[in-house]
A and B are shown apart, each in its own frame.
Chain A
Amino acid sequence: MSSRRSRTRQSGCSRPISDDQINDLVSKLQQLLPEIRDRRSDQVSAANVLQETCNYIRSLHKEADDLSERLSELLASSDTAQAAIIRSLLMQQ
């Protein structure tokens, strides 16, 4: 499914992508990152935002892994798990 595109081809097939558009999206992304969001300076470059994004995604994956492990242990050991599941489901609403 992943096709190898040569570097010479510009990213963006049907419409030309302006720098402003990219900067716009990058700043939107910046707002989502917990680290950069607090120090709102114009010195944060696009490359920096992308780097922070990669780190953030990796840390989220790691957290999901740890939580899966914890959940699997808890599920296997607890008998009152079913009641807890129903309870937490009701609390989500």
Chain B
Amino acid sequence: MISKGATWNSNSCRIKFARRFVSALLHMRNRNTRPGSLTIEGVRTHTQRIKIAAYLSMAQAVGSRRAWSRAVLSKHGSRARRHSRMGRSSVGLKKTRVIRSYPPGELGQAKKLRQLVPGGKTMDMCSLLEETAHYIKCLATQVKVMQTLADNFSK
């Protein structure tokens, strides 16, 4: 199905993401009612889980239509894989920081971009730019929804 315009696309994307994310949060909350989860380590893990749930919910809302969402889903899809894949991540969990000098011009920046967009390493330039545009739209939506939720909680 071809998206008719920015409005339609972002609205349904937003609603789908909001539903999935909220149900993931509820699920997490029902599981974590022990007082032990209030330690520093517990809070950090909780934060990580919420972050992963957010990215995963967004990728699920987008489905397999996009290469970046497919990359996110295959990375975080199975629970068993989540703990074993360290290091080579591209969903914002930056663990290794390699200082590298990139060649100036478009190719150099494209390398940095490939690291930021999930699945970007194996795409050609054209697809990379398209996926980046979609990824930015969805990320912005995700952040807005999370912001709304956080505001509602603190009332």
Contacts and interface: CB of A to CB of B under 8 A. Distances in A.
On whether the two chains bind one another, the answer is yes
A91 B22 CA distance: 12
A12 B109 contact: no
Nearest to B55: A64
Chain A interface size band reads: 35 or more
A35 interface: no
A44 interface: no
A58 B93 CA distance: 11
- The binding surface of chain A is classed by DSSP as helix
Interface in A61-79: 61, 63-65, 67-76, 78
Interface residues of B, number: 59
Given A2-B122, A56-B136, A58-B116, A71 B104 contact: no
- The binding surface of chain B is classed by DSSP as helix
The 3 closest A-B pairs by CB, nearest first: A50-B109, A61-B92, A2-B121
Interface of B: 14-15, 18-19, 22, 25-26, 28-29, 32, 37-38, 43, 46-48, 50-51, 54-55, 71, 88, 92, 104-106, 108-110, 112-113, 116-117, 121-122, 124-126, 129-130, 132-133, 135-137, 139-140, 142-143, 145-150, 152-155
Interface of A: 1-3, 11-13, 17, 21-22, 25-26, 28-29, 32-33, 46-47, 50-51, 53-54, 56-58, 60-61, 63-65, 67-76, 78, 81-82, 84-85, 87-89, 91-93
